[in-house]
């Protein structure tokens, strides 16, 4: 390896390391702040000592539970996000398989419509959707936060791109053995598609865990509100305690990190297989 090649590799590693530090620094700052007495959280924000607590304390965490119903908000977020992910995996994978493998009238036109829906943001349809769910009497319920997000155009597209690349011989062998379309999907396609299922699980979880606008529009009480709304309220709750706020943030981010770590291996494979870029 030439000196030029070594230099380029070292430069790329240095750039990647700098980017990694840039992205992880806010998380480390939040974790360190959650372990400090409130008076020290912002006092050291301008130096490297902001990332190293002088005095460790766990008091900020029980303080969060004492000041708000954190357990209730956490259960709400887990239930809402978990239902969206679980139902979405079933609905979107079946839709993706139908587009990728089955022949039926209007398939190409409907798939083009699905692709078109991908560019429509929630903000563009939030108001008419709000009036619709109000007519149904769904406001201040779990269903209004779950049902509109089960079917997802981007998830359908990810499943489609993965299924289209699977060898057809797998399905042909199953059908020779007498398996129908649904049995083939469950017994053959799903076991060979763990990477795309993991990818969709992580992306859906990340998107829904931090949802703020829609829950803010359709909920008015604490009973069914998720964590993003709770942290916005907690931030303005007197007295302003930054240690408690950071502790709240750490507990809110922890499930996201856990989900990513659990599905990381399949997620990387899924990114490669489905061609996600950027």
pLDDT value at position 61? 92
- Please tell me the predicted confidence (pLDDT) of residue 158: 92
User: Over 80: is that where the pLDDT of 146 sits?
Assistant: yes
Question: Which residue has better confidence, 77 or 104?
Answer: 77
The answer, yes or no, to whether residue 271 has pLDDT greater than 60, is no
Confidence of residue 1 (pLDDT cuts 50, 70, 90): low
pLDDT (mean) for 171-180: 82
**CA dihedral for 24, 51, 226, 228, sign (positive or negative):** negative
Helices (H), 102-187: 107-117, 122-136, 143-146, 153-163, 168-176, 181-184
Looking at residue 270, its pLDDT comes to 56
Residue 248: pLDDT band with limits 50, 70, 90 = very high
Lowest mean pLDDT segment, chosen from 5-9, 82-86, 274-278: 274-278
256-261, long-range: CB < 8 A, 24+ apart:
256/205, 256/206, 256/209, 259/201, 259/202, 259/205, 260/202
Superfamily of domain 68-274: MetI-like (1.10.3720.10)
Examine the pLDDT at 156 and tell me if it is beyond 90. yes
Give whole-number Cα distances, 183 to 160, 250, 273, in Å. 18, 43, 24
What pLDDT was estimated at residue 79?
A: 96
State yes or no: pLDDT of 138 exceeds 50.
Answer: yes
> Would you put residue 275 in left (φ > 0), alpha (ψ -120 to 50) or beta?
left
Average pLDDT over residues 125-153: 92
Q: Tokens 């009480």 belong to which residue?
A: 221
Q: With 80 as the cut, is the pLDDT of residue 263 above it?
A: no
Distance CA 90, CA 77 (A): 20
Name the CA dihedral angle for 45, 51, 54, 59, rounded to a multiple of 10 degrees.
Answer: 90
Q: What is the pLDDT of residue 35?
A: 86
Give the pair of three-digit tokens for residue 223: 């009973």
CB neighbours of 235 closer than 8 A, spacing ≥ 6? 245
Burial 94-128 (b: 16+ CB within 10 A, else e): ebbbbbbbeeeeeeeeebeebeeeeeeeeeeeeee
Instruction: Give the lowest-confidence range in 49-53, 158-162, 226-230, 242-246.
Output: 49-53
* pLDDT value for 109: 93
For position 110, what pLDDT does the model report? 92
Where are the extended beta strands (E) located within the chain? none
- pLDDT at 276 exceeding the cut of 60: no
Using CA atoms, how far apart are residues 278 and 276, in angstroms rounded to an integer? 7
Q: Which residue has the higher pLDDT, 172 or 152?
A: 152
**CA angle (156 as vertex; 151, 159 as ends), nearest 5:** 135
Ordered by start, the domain boundaries in the chain are 1-57, 68-274
| 194, two tokens | 């763990």
Q: Which two tokens stand for residue 7?
A: 């230099």
pLDDT of residue 277: 43
CA-derived radius of gyration, the chain: 23
Give the pLDDT confidence score for residue 278 in this predicted structure: 40
Over 80: is that where the pLDDT of 247 sits? yes
pLDDT band at 75 (very low <50, low <70, confident <90, very high): very high
């Amino acid at each position: 390896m030439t000196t030029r090649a070594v230099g380029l590799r070292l430069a790329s590693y240095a750039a990647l390391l700098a980017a990694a530090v840039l992205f992880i620094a806010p998380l480390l700052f939040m974790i360190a702040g959650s372990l400090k007495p409130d008076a020290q959280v912002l006092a050291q924000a301008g130096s490297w000592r902001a990332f190293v607590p002088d005095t460790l304390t766990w008091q900020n965490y029980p303080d969060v539970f004492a000041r708000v119903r954190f357990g209730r908000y956490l259960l709400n977020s887990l239930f809402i996000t978990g239902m969206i992910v679980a139902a979405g995996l079933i609905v979107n994978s079946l839709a993706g398989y139908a587009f990728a493998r089955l022949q039926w009238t209007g398939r190409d036109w409907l798939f083009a419509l699905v692709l078109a829906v991908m560019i429509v943001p929630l903000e563009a349809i939030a108001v008419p959707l709000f009036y619709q769910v109000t007519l149904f009497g769904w406001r201040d319920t779990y269903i209004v936060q779950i049902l509109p997000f089960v079917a997802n155009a981007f998830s359908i597209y990810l499943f489609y791109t993965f299924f289209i690349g699977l060898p057809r011989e797998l399905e042909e062998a199953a059908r020779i053995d007498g398996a129908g379309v649904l049995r083939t999907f469950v017994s053959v396609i799903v076991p060979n598609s763990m990477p795309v299922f993991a990818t969709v699980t992580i992306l859906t979880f990340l998107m829904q865990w931090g949802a703020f606008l829609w829950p803010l529009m359709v909920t008015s009480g604490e009973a069914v509100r998720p964590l993003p709304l709770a942290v916005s309220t907690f931030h303005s709750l007197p007295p302003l305690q930054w240690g408690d706020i950071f502790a709240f943030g750490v507990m809110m981010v922890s499930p996201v990190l856990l989900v990513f770590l659990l599905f990381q291996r399949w997620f990387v494979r899924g990114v490669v297989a489905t061609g996600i870029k950027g």
